[in-house]
Amino acid sequence: MQIVLATHNKDKIREIKNLLTDLPVEIKTFEDFPEMPDVDETGATLEENAILKSNAINEYTGLAALADDTGLEVDALGGQPGVYSARYAGPGCSYEDNCNKLLEELKNVSVERRGAAFRTVIAITWSEGDVETAEGIADGIITSSKQGVSGFGYDPVFYYPPAGKTFAEMTLDEKNKVSHRGLALLKAKELIKTHLKNI
């Protein structure tokens, strides 16, 4: 079976491929479909955005499509940036821009109020009208400065207490065992295995 990843983000593709390598599926990406469209994330929730993307890429490619949408929900900011995490610092912003804006917003916030949750929703569209979703959540604390050089996005400022380090200080394997995307993908893997049994 073939599954196409509904993203142009090479960092996400690397993480997703790493977790799905042991499945008897062929993973396709935008490199196999050079004209694959970028899907506007117009949903009000992570789930809506993930489904929008997986539906659109399923329709475009005719293959099962897997999409994720991820948000960082910060307690002191009332759950923001949430669904706007990727474009928190404005259109065309970089990972660094987003981290810098977040650190600036929290510069006078005590450590007790710097709690945050990373949330990922994965949607798999098998065919038109046949969609399944899975969710993963990781709880942590926003640091006062960037720490670590691995990972991407908000990883350098997301401290994960059980590991005693930020996501950016972890190897890919370490991160995938505990991260929001890793946990969501483990659930998605079970959905894929069940689907394979039924075809």
Any catalytic annotation for residue 69? yes
Phi, psi of 179 (to 5 degrees): -75, 160
DSSP 83: T
The DSSP element (H or E) to which 115 belongs, if any, is strand 115-127
DSSP 38: P
Question: In a 3-state reduction of DSSP, which class is residue 68?
Answer: strand
Residue ranges in the chain assigned as alpha helix (H): 10-20, 46-61, 95-105, 172-178, 180-197
Of 69, 130, 155, 173, which residue is the catalytic one?
A: 69
Catalytic residues: 69
